[in-house]
Amino acid sequence: MSHDLQFYIDGAWVDPIAPSVLDVIDPSNEDAFARISLGSKADVDKAVAAARRAFATFGFTSRAERLELLRRIVEVYKKRRHDLALAVSREMGAPRQFALESQVGIGLAHLEKIVQVLESFEFEHVKGSSLVVKEPIGVVGLITPWNWPLNQITCKVGPALAAGCTMVLKPSEIAPLDAIIFAEILDEAGVPKGVFNLVNGDGPTVGQALASHPDVDMMSFTGSTRAGILVAKAAADTVKRVHQELGGKSANILFPDVDLAVAVRKGVAGCFGNSGQSCNAPTRMFVPRDRHDEAAEHAKAAAETYVVGAADASGTNLGPVVSQIQYDKIQDLIESGIAEGARLVTGGPGRPADLNRGYYVRPTVFADVRPDMRIAREEIFGPVLSILPYDSVEQAVDQANDTVYGLASYIQTKDIRKARDVAARMRTGNVHINYPAWDAGMPFGGYKQSGNGREYAEYGLEDFLEIKGILGYDAA
């Protein structure tokens, strides 16, 4: 039975209190292929009440009980991985194999990592005659985005369960079907009633109701900086903790000593991955001025190897962007790059010539980009790379840091000592030296308007915990 038109509240699939539906659009062809219900404040109240009741018991479960639960979730998640991949592919346009290996795979990595972390995490320690303990913060509201949906669901739900929290999840209404399957996974794994609740809906209604709810102790939000500010304002009146993972405009500094062909090709791949829809994508490539034209040619060659097409088409490695709104935003920024005088190396406005339906963006590279241009300052969230020339590494570092964002940065050089020195100067939550492999054990989050708090592994677990000092614990 399909649960697309229902919510998961208090351990059961239930109909919305006030029926309202929304089409789910396949970005590969612009067709509606499913419908979901949109929740109301009344649905949120019902879900929060269930979570509050469940916290009275789940908040005091043992580590062993929570480990057993998380291990069952991992096993059911593995069993449903193909269902998850198909859902993600259709709702956000991810090519089929990428959806399975990367979108679904990253969720599994987070779940397995939090099991590993929980096995040895220290929830208490003695300090003199006192005891310091870390306890679950309580009921948490989780709001997740459409671009890496399972990544964000698992790196919030997993640590929240490990901490002993109960929760209400509002996934993106643009890509909601994977979250419905995830709720089915948790139900099959035997999550106690009320511990996990799912209410679909939009930000102004369900998101607002969650963030402002007096019985929600914490909000964990991933999405745009604009929406993150609204969540923080809504949460302020009840003085709840707010964790935000927001936008980015990551710099990629290529030192003069790099193998330029290799460094540029990998930089393009990092920028274009997931159709450019990653908040930590290296979208600003800084190259030595005397090698700028060479870098542009390498970027052109790399960009033109990408095959743009439908998620289920053979050979596609660059699917559509998620929606008409995103497509229009990207087109506007591409047009601005041309209007402001950047040199269009490849790509440009409009769809690829052979695609007239679907939200397809031409793989685009701009050269001779100035730091004041919109394409160098605004988050594009599409397969668009800006190449900026620099006269010294110091200038590149200054320009890289000259942004309201601070999520990630990238450094390419053969001199590890110089790389470490520059890494210390980058005002970003992550620094990537020479394109290292992704690591589920590293903290993820940003400086400045890229947010606050950290996700992944023990860093994510810490965010769902309160610290209590018990003085005189060992007193006679």
357-381 core/surface letters (b: 16 or more CB in 10 A; e: else): ebbbbbbbbbbbbebebbbbebbbb
Report whether 218 contacts 241 (CB < 8 A).
yes
In angstroms, the CA 358 to CA 90 distance is 12
Active site residue 112: no
Would you list the DSSP string of 100-113? IIIIIHHHHHHHHH
Residue 296, Cβ neighbours under 10 Å: how many? 23
Contacts of residue 225, defined as CB under 8 A and 6 or more positions apart, other chains included, come to 246, 247, 404, 405, 449, 450, 451
Active site residue 245: yes
What value, to the nearest 5°, has the Cα angle with vertex 289 and ends 408 and 397? 30
7, two tokens: 């919510």
In angstroms, the CA 239 to CA 422 distance is 37
Cα separations (Å) of 441 from 116, 428, 457? Answer: 10, 17, 5
In angstroms, the CA 165 to CA 238 distance is 18
- Which of 91, 112, 173, 245 is flagged as catalytic? 245
Phi, psi of 175 (to 5 degrees): -130, 70
53, two tokens: 């009741």
Strand partners, 37: 21
- Which of 279, 378, 379, 458 is flagged as catalytic? 279
345, two tokens: 């190396």
- Which one-letter amino acid corresponds to residue 310? A
In angstroms, the CA 253 to CA 415 distance is 13
In angstroms, the CA 430 to CA 134 distance is 26
In angstroms, the CA 109 to CA 276 distance is 22
Strand partners, 218: 140, 241
Q: How far apart are the first and last CA of the chain?
A: 60
Report whether 467 contacts 132 (CB < 8 A).
yes
Helices (H) and strands (E) in the chain, counts: 16, 20
248, two tokens: 């980015």
Catalytically annotated residues: 245, 279
